[in-house]
Amino acid sequence: MGLGTTFEKDLIAAGGINIVTYPGTPEYLADLAAGRLDAIYNDRLLIGYLAKSQNLPIKGVGNAGSVDQMGVAMKKSNVLLQRAVNAALKGLKADSSLAKLGEKWFGQDVSKP
């Protein structure tokens, strides 16, 4: 896992785990795919995207840790933009477009936590 990440801190707090750190995600994904690691712990969307885009023989499983919420940064005063973004997201969820985009880019439905 990445040195100094929140994921490393989670595993240190859990205790009893042999943690190996790497400079970045591509390096430990390569070691996982080559069988030099048993498992990795990271964001499910990042792992899904990299596994799919790099055609790696790995798969994300389970949910561990906390679910972090994502946001779209904008000026508080731009209420029209906020309404437009919220409406677009609501529409993407309603017609299953968000689920389809998640499958395309991450190999999983991102409309569900």
* 73 in the same domain as 45: no
61-82 confidence digits (pLDDT tens): 666 666 667 788 999 999 999 9
Range of the domain at 109: 69-113
Which band of pLDDT confidence, cut at 50, 70 and 90, is reported for residue 46? confident
| Rounded Cα gap, residues 39 and 14, in angstroms | 15
84-105 confidence digits (pLDDT tens): 999 999 999 999 999 999 888 8
Instruction: Please tell me the total count of domains within the chain.
Output: 2
CA contacts within 13 A on the Cβ side of 83: 4
Cβ-contact 1, 19 below 8 angstroms: yes
Instruction: Name the one residue in this structure whose structure tokens are 């499958």.
Output: 103
* 44 in the same domain as 13: yes
* 38 in the same domain as 14: yes
* 112 in the same domain as 77: yes
| Rounded Cα gap, residues 67 and 106, in angstroms | 17
Query: What is the residue type of 72?
Result: V
**Domain for residue 74, yes or no?**
yes
